[in-house]
Chains A and B, each alone.
Chain A
């Protein structure tokens, strides 16, 4: 099955700096890569996703890049704000077959220091 590794496990940045979280996956058939933000006591919230036919996607301060050859993808948050503090999860899945199991990484706890 798919194995997703995520680094770092914790990340502290100063407000206004950038944060980068990296993930690798093992199944070359994976074609959908979402990122979720999880705040304490809440369910994961989808913040951005990318499909395998795209190399980069941006939404305001958040961007995701995908390198299919190397089987890794990254989340970039620019101009970080205290409200960005949360646990971030990457995930990978083979979509289009009907079974849409998301395989999650182990999470990155991001702390933005005011």
Chain B
């Protein structure tokens, strides 16, 4: 079974530029998550989708970050404009349905963003 796919793996941009990350979850997984992992810290949730609907985006800085999952499969996370403090690894994870039957979240390899 293929795991969670993410691209690109690395991205370097200047502050105030925009950037987009792509995620393809494990086939059949209804729930998709975006996490931000700053160097030396644990991942922090940015947004959770159930199919193509948003379940939790309370930690998403909505003035600059946006995310979508239009067809309930792939997802895109965008930052515009980027700030220096956005330098981090952006991780995508998926789980079967997010309900009591399946709690396990499986992570992709992440996209390492450097903002200069």
User: How many chain-A residues does the 8 Å CB contact rule pick out?
Assistant: 27
Which chain A residues in 59-114 approach chain B with CB under 8 Å?
Answer: 89, 91, 93, 95-96, 98-102, 104-107
Partner of B103, one of A32, A45, A99: A32
**Residues of chain A lying within 8 A (CB to CB) of residue B104:** 34, 46, 49
Of B4, B98, B105, the residue contacting A98 (CB under 8 A) is B98
- Chain B positions within 8 Å of A4 at CB level: 42
| From A32, A100, A102, contact of B43 by CB (8 A) | A102
Is A44 on the interface with B (CB-CB < 8 A)?
A: yes
Residues of B within 8 A of A44 (CB): 43, 91, 107
Q: What A residues does B100 contact at CB under 8 A? A: 95-96
List, in ascending order, chain A residues with CB within 8 A of B106's CB. Answer: 46
